[in-house]
Amino acid sequence: MSVKQITPAQVHEILDKDKNAVYLDVRTQPEFENGRVPGAVNIPVMLPDPATRRMTPNPDFLQLVESRYPKDKKIIVGCQMGGRSQHAAEILVQAGFSDVSNMQGGFGGAKDAMGRLVAPGWLQANLPVEK
């Protein structure tokens, strides 16, 4: 089973219509606190390692999601640009979650190596932001 890709506008529509759907924000806590999709739940898939100053996998990610949601829960995964959320969504699908989507462009929009926007995110779509 592959991960469904959906736009920020589609995410907004789904969350507006389906009150049982959950938006899982897999960014770090500081990123999450700086602004998020309204009603989002934060479970980081990666955590900063102070010793190496690099991001490392959150060893508790899957367990935290599994303890909170049934495998048939509609889960939309998002991050800052779409990469971490794609990885997190794949982890969930491999673990047996059956209704998982990735928000293309993430919260802040995906950019190429030159810094050009290649996939608009939640912010570029001018959708509501919670702080």
- The CA distance from 88 to 78, in Å, is 9
- The CA distance from 60 to 51, in Å, is 19
The residues carrying an active-site annotation are: 79
HSE-up of 98 (CA within 13 Å, CB side)?
4
Among 67, 74, 57, which Cα is nearest to 18's? 74
